[in-house]
Amino acid sequence: MKDGILVVNKPKEMTSHDVVAFARRKLKIRKVGHAGALDPMATGVLILLIGKCTKFFNHFLVLDKEYVATLTMGARTTSGDAQGEIVEQKEFRHISIEAAEKVFSSYLGEKMQVPPMVSAVKHKGIRLYALARKGAEVSRTPRKVIIKEFRILKFELPDIQFYLRCSRGTYVRQLAEDVACDLGSCGHLTQIERLSIGEFNLKNALLLSQIEDNKILPYPPRF
């Protein structure tokens, strides 16, 4: 059995577990995991851990991540993204690009972020997303994150496309909701793509159809 990693471009609408299951079948290897999930709506870099490399999960958690995403103004959803139900609507046409740029820049540096209810953080041993599915909402302890780059790429209301480079533990959907709130409206993510995890980027990511034994990369170079 080969040991190493595969850098995969996760398709939209598949869960990270779906991709892991696909790789297990394709490679005929049972011991496959991932180094940080992507939501079903998200696309982009998903690192698969093969064989002995499943024990290096924590090595990838500390790496910076890059995203391109779209915040759609005017509506807040139960999940913070387009897969949730709309629970609030607000006017957004008053927002200028100058105001938006000012808000985006205000998030640079160390920040305390409250994890969203639809996250894998545990509350009394239960995942928040499991509680959210039951309609429950509990208080969450803010966590320190570092926003290293955060800028607008395209401003075409109701959509604001942005680039983000951030530390571990940053929830992009929560960041987007907070920005929308600071702009005097509400919003949710309608598109998100992870461009990189550390040195592993989308340019070198495999499509699912390209997954093969000979594409497995050694990690770390020596066990």
pLDDT of 57-90, one tens digit each?
A: 999 989 999 999 999 999 999 889 999 999 999 9
Q: Is residue 87 part of a domain?
A: yes
Mean pLDDT computed over 95-109: 98
Using the predicted structure, report yes or no on whether residue 223 has a pLDDT greater than 50: no
* 163: nearest Cα among 145, 148, 183, 146: 148
85 shares a domain with 165: yes
* Torsional sign, CA 143, 75, 71, 82: positive
Q: What is the pTM of this model?
A: 0.91
116 shares a domain with 205: no
81 shares a domain with 33: no
89 shares a domain with 38: no
Domain that holds residue 55: 4-61+198-215
Helix (H) or strand (E) holding 7, with range, is: strand 4-10
| Cβ-based burial of 89 (10 A; exposed 0-12, middle 13-18, buried ≥19) | exposed
174 shares a domain with 136: yes
Q: Is residue 223 part of a domain?
A: no
Annotated catalytic residues are 39
Query: How distant is the alpha carbon of residue 133 from its chain centre?
Result: 19
**Which residues lie closer than 8 Å to 59 by C-beta, 6 or more apart?**
35, 220
Using the predicted structure, report yes or no on whether residue 142 has a pLDDT greater than 60: yes
Helices (H) and strands (E) in the chain, counts: 5, 13
Peptide bond into 220 cis (omega under 30): yes
Q: Rg of the chain over CA atoms, in angstroms? A: 18
Mean pLDDT computed over 107-136: 69
Mean pLDDT computed over 114-129: 62
CATH of the domain at 182: 3.30.2350.10
CB 148 within 8 A of CB 110: no
150 shares a domain with 116: yes
Domains contained in the chain, number: 2
Q: Is residue 220 part of a domain?
A: no
- Alpha carbon distance 221, 223 (integer Å): 7
pLDDT of 141: 78
Q: What tokens were used for 64?
A: 């910076």
